[in-house]
Structures are given as structure tokens and as C-alpha cells.
Amino acid sequence: MSKRCELTGVGPQTGSNVSHSNRHTRRRWEPNLTEKRIFVPEENRWITVKATARALKTLTKKGMKSVKKMHARVVRRNPSFKPAVDLK
């Protein structure tokens, strides 16, 4: 299973560790993903989502409408993004 947020499309980033002697070794920064059950009132059902902590905080504060807007922006920016959960 991929390490990608199903709501925002955030994935791992790559870069370098830089030591005191300025040696560079490659590394990855993984997103802070958690699996969470979310109730969708429009469909009257629960869905399980693998999402970042930031997306879940936004969901808690602003609601499902805001997360759908974030999701639409990700799909517009990257049309090949296919989440496991359909939020349309």
C-alpha cells in the first residue's frame, strides 16, 4: 500500500542528510499517516481513510466540505491521482 494521503495527495519527499563534514546521504521524509474511520453524512455511511495528521486536523476544524475542496484541488493539480476513497 502506498504512503500517500487519500485526502490531500501528500506523499514522501526525498532529500539528503548532511553531516558535519558535509557528506550527503539520501533519505526520505515520510508523511505522518494514520488510518481513520470517517462518517460521511451525505451517504450515511462510514469510510476508512489513510490520511495525514494535518488533513485530519482540518477535517476536525472545518468539516468534510473543506476536505472535499482540498481533495478537488489535488485532483485538478494531478489528474492521475486516484484515491482509494471517492469523495465526490
Give the pLDDT confidence score for residue 26 in this predicted structure: 98
- pLDDT classification of 32: cutoffs 50, 70, 90: very high
Between 69 and 82, the more confident residue is 69
More confident residue, 10 or 40: 10
The reported pTM is 0.72
Task: Tell me if 7 sits within 8 A of 67, measured CB to CB.
Answer: yes
Kindly tell me the burial class for residue 80, based on how many C-beta atoms sit within 10 Å of its own C-beta (0-12, 13-18, 19 or more). exposed
pLDDT the model gives residue 41: 80
